[in-house]
């Protein structure tokens, strides 16, 4: 009993001594060494524990990720559809703007708008059908324009619909003028595209020259843009020049046209 | 194929051909002639009667929709149908893909020639594109129809 008391006293004294000396940094190296030796295993345990916890977290969040992914996909699809529809509206807006510019440039003309309601089932006929007819003031041989360019003339007319012969129709001959040189020629459709024939050999025409309508036959008002020259295709031995021209209007994409009714 | 189903099929063919969808099938300057391929498929996989009915339905619809002289399309399609049936019965085997495409080739060439004569428009490049497109579409239709209705087995039985 006395020995226990003595041991307890010694331990207590030692503790007091440690407390006093530790205030002066006496045991700092020992404490640092202890801390370093414990830190590394503690870090390993921490990393392992975090990995286990993260693995369990993934299992719980996969469901949320899948739902969020599906929602984002749906939203993406809807946005793509909206973008496509806006793109189509932009094209329509551009075409209508060009039609408006054409109207401003030709204030003396009376223009009747019409929608394209059908095409020829075979591309050989080169016609399209519009939803205006004789009751709207349409008559045969009236000029049809789109996006500021001539695309053809009215062929047959019924009460509420009409047939438009496109420029590429082989039955259509259109008198045209080369804008810079003032030379008159005849435009028609051919296997090589739209060609202008009967141009005198001494005509100094260039690629890119604008081609407009001529009022020679009294059918077409003068000055309506038809296209521009892209190639001179006549052979050297021919007595007249033949030009290939390009009309920038894409007939397959037309949804509306303007008819010059007066 | 019942008459009502044929009528719906013919209506779809015509609407696709004359509407914006049919026009957008054009590859540049030409594209498949859906009505011609439809008529060929009907004659090839069914019989002359079904072909004539489809020709009349498509022809009358086009005659009503287009500005060409009334009856022109009906007459044209009827001539094509009879011509194809003549070739099919005399010279060709239904179970053979090359024979089927040969029949479609003949029908396409005939149709392009007739349309060119009637419209007085001659475009060789366009006609070649149409004929080639018809053959490609015809091959797809042949395999789809033969696989769907297990016609290979039926044709084998017929040969036996």
Q: What's the rounded Cα separation, in Å, for the pair A224 and A214?
A: 8
Q: Is A251 part of a structural domain of the chain?
A: no
Q: Which of B24, B76, B119, B126 to mutate to test the interface with A (most CBs of A within 10 A)?
A: B119
Per-residue CA distances from B97 to A48, B39, B42, B72, B144 (Å): 67, 17, 15, 31, 12
The pLDDT > 70 percentage for chain B reads: 84
Q: Note the pLDDT of residue B153.
A: 57
B30: which chain A residues are within 8 Å (Cβ-Cβ)? 123
Q: What residues are paired with A127 via a beta bridge?
A: A165
Pairwise CB contact (< 8 Å): A191 & B123: yes
Q: How many CB atoms lie within 10 A of CB B158?
A: 11
Number of domains in chain A: 3
Nearest 10 degrees: Cα torsion B98, B99, B100, B102: 90
Q: Is A260 part of a structural domain of the chain?
A: no
Nearest-CA neighbor of A135 among A105, A161, A99? A161
Q: How many CB atoms lie within 10 A of CB A201?
A: 10
Say yes or no: A143 and A74 in one domain: no
Mind telling me how many Å the CA of A156 is from chain B's nearest CA? 7
Say yes or no: A14 and A87 in one domain: yes
Q: What's the rounded Cα separation, in Å, for the pair B63 and A131?
A: 17
**Strand A174-178 relative to strand A210-213: parallel, antiparallel, unpaired?**
antiparallel
Identify the domain boundary among A167, A191, A215: A167
Say yes or no: A56 and A115 in one domain: no
Nearest CA in chain B to A251: B23
Q: Note the pLDDT of residue B53.
A: 92
Range of the domain at B79: 3-159
Q: Is A125 part of a structural domain of the chain?
A: yes
Chain B positions touching chain A (beta carbons under 8 Å): 14, 17-20, 22-24, 26, 29-31, 33, 35, 62, 65-68, 112, 115-116, 119-127, 130
Q: How many CB atoms lie within 10 A of CB A257?
A: 25
Pairwise CB contact (< 8 Å): A119 & B22: yes
Token code pair at residue A103: 């109207």
Say yes or no: A78 and A8 in one domain: yes
Q: Note the pLDDT of residue A26.
A: 64
The pLDDT > 90 percentage for chain A reads: 11
CA atoms within 13 A on the CB side of B94: 22
Quote the distance between the C-alpha of residue A251 and its chain's center: 19
Find out whether A257 and A113 touch, Cβ atoms under 8 Å.
yes
Pairwise CB contact (< 8 Å): A124 & B116: yes
Q: Note the pLDDT of residue B150.
A: 61
Pairwise CB contact (< 8 Å): B115 & A124: yes
Nearest CB to B18 within list A121, A170, A189: A121
pLDDT at A98 over 90: no
Q: Note the pLDDT of residue B159.
A: 44
CATH number for the domain spanning B95: value is 1.10.1760
Find out whether B112 and B127 touch, Cβ atoms under 8 Å.
yes
Chain A positions touching chain B (beta carbons under 8 Å): 118-127, 129, 155-156, 158, 163, 169-171, 189, 191, 252, 255
Structure confidence at residue A67 as a pLDDT band (50, 70, 90): confident
Q: Note the pLDDT of residue A28.
A: 66
Say yes or no: A101 and A116 in one domain: no
Structure confidence at residue B70 as a pLDDT band (50, 70, 90): confident
Between A171 and B9, name the one with better pLDDT: B9
Range of the domain at A93: 1-105
Q: What residues are paired with A213 via a beta bridge?
A: A176
Nearest 10 degrees: Cα torsion A161, A260, A99, A79: 0
Say yes or no: A205 and A191 in one domain: yes
Pairwise CB contact (< 8 Å): A124 & B17: no
Nearest-CA neighbor of B59 among B47, B39, B46, B76? B76
Residues 6+ apart with CB under 8 A from B1: B9, B42, B46, B50
pLDDT at A128 over 90: no
What spatial distance separates the first Cα and last Cα of chain B, rounded to whole Å?
Answer: 26
Q: What's the rounded Cα separation, in Å, for the pair A178 and A170?
A: 21
Return the SS3 of B60. helix
Nearest CB to A122 within list B20, B33, B122: B33
Which ipTM was obtained for this model? 0.73
Pairwise CB contact (< 8 Å): B22 & A126: no
Token code pair at residue A229: 């020259």
Read off the pLDDT of each residue in A108-129 and give the average, rounded to a whole number. 82
Mind telling me how many Å the CA of B150 is from chain A's nearest CA? 33
Say yes or no: A66 and A150 in one domain: no
Pairwise CB contact (< 8 Å): A122 & B23: no
Mind telling me how many Å the CA of B61 is from chain A's nearest CA? 11
Pairwise CB contact (< 8 Å): A119 & B130: no
Give the largest Cα separation in chain B, rounded.
50
Say yes or no: A152 and A196 in one domain: no
B17: which chain A residues are within 8 Å (Cβ-Cβ)? 121
Q: Is A262 part of a structural domain of the chain?
A: no
Find out whether A151 and A168 touch, Cβ atoms under 8 Å.
no
Return the SS3 of A36. helix
Pairwise CB contact (< 8 Å): A127 & B67: yes
Q: What are phi and psi of A158, to 5 degrees?
A: -115, -170
Nearest-CA neighbor of B116 among B101, B102, B131, B104? B131
The pLDDT > 70 percentage for chain A reads: 89
Q: How many CB atoms lie within 10 A of CB B85?
A: 18
Number of domains in chain B: 1
Structure confidence at residue A39 as a pLDDT band (50, 70, 90): low
Identify the domain boundary among A149, A167, A185: A167
A156: which chain B residues are within 8 Å (Cβ-Cβ)? 67
Residue pLDDT, tens place only, A184-224: 899 988 777 888 988 888 888 888 889 999 887 777 888 88
Read off the pLDDT of each residue in B110-122 and give the average, rounded to a whole number. 83
pLDDT at B98 over 70: yes
Q: Is A187 part of a structural domain of the chain?
A: yes
Q: Note the pLDDT of residue A221.
A: 85
Say yes or no: A119 and A72 in one domain: no
CATH number for the domain spanning A230: value is 2.40.10.350
Q: What's the rounded Cα separation, in Å, for the pair B43 and B84?
A: 8
Q: Is A152 part of a structural domain of the chain?
A: yes
Instruction: Classify residue B46 as exposed, middle or buried by CB count within 10 Å of its CB (0-12, 13-18, 19+).
Output: middle
Q: What's the rounded Cα separation, in Å, for the pair A163 and A173?
A: 17
Say yes or no: A13 and A79 in one domain: yes
Identify the domain boundary among A132, A152, A167: A167
Which has the minimum average pLDDT: A157-161, A211-215, B147-151? B147-151
Structure confidence at residue A104 as a pLDDT band (50, 70, 90): confident
Would you give the DSSP letter of residue B27? B
Residues 6+ apart with CB under 8 A from B32: B25, B130, B133, B134, B136, B137
């Amino acid at each position: 009993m006395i020995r226990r008391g003595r041991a307890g006293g010694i331990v207590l004294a030692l503790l007091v001594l440690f407390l006093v000396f530790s205030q002066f940094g006496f045991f700092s190296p020992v404490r640092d060494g202890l801390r370093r030796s414990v830190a590394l295993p503690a870090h390993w345990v921490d990393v392992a524990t975090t990995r286990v916890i993260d693995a369990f977290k993934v299992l719980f969040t996969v469901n949320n990720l899948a739902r969020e992914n599906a929602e984002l996909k749906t939203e993406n699809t809807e946005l793509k559809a909206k973008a496509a529809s806006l793109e189509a509206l932009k094209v329509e807006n551009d075409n209508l703007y060009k039609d408006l510019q054409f109207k401003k440039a030709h204030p003396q003309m009376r223009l009747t708008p019409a929608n394209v309601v059908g095409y020829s089932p075979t591309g050989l006929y080169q016609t399209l059908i519009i939803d205006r007819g004789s009751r709207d003031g349409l008559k045969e041989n009236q000029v049809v324009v789109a996006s500021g360019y001539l695309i053809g003339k009215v062929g047959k007319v019924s009460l509420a619909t009409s047939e438009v012969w496109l420029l590429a129709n082989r039955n259509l001959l259109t008198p045209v003028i080369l804008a810079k040189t003032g030379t008159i020629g005849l435009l028609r459709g051919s296997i090589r595209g739209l060609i202008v024939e009967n141009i005198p050999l001494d005509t100094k025409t260039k690629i890119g020259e604008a081609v407009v309508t001529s009022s020679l036959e009294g059918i077409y008002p003068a000055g309506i843009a038809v296209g521009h020259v892209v190639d001179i295709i006549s052979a050297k031995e021919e007595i007249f020049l033949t030009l290939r021209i390009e009309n920038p209007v894409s007939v397959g994409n037309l949804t509306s046209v303007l008819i010059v009714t007066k | 194929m019942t008459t009502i189903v044929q009528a719906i099929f013919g209506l779809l063919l015509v609407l696709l051909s004359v509407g914006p969808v049919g026009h957008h099938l054009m590859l540049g300057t030409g594209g498949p002639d859906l009505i011609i391929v439809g008529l060929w498929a009907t004659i090839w996989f069914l019989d002359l009667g079904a072909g004539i009915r489809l020709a009349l339905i498509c022809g009358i619809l086009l005659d009503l929709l287009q500005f060409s002289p009334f009856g022109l399309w009906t007459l044209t399609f009827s001539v094509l149908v009879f011509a194809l049936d003549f070739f099919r019965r005399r010279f060709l085997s239904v179970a053979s893909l090359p024979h089927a495409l040969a029949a479609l080739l003949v029908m396409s060439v005939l149709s392009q020639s007739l349309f060119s004569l009637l419209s007085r428009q001659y475009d060789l490049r366009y006609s070649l594109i149409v004929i080639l497109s018809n053959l490609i579409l015809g091959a797809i239709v042949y395999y789809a129809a033969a696989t769907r209705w297990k016609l290979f087995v039926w044709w084998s039985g017929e040969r036996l």
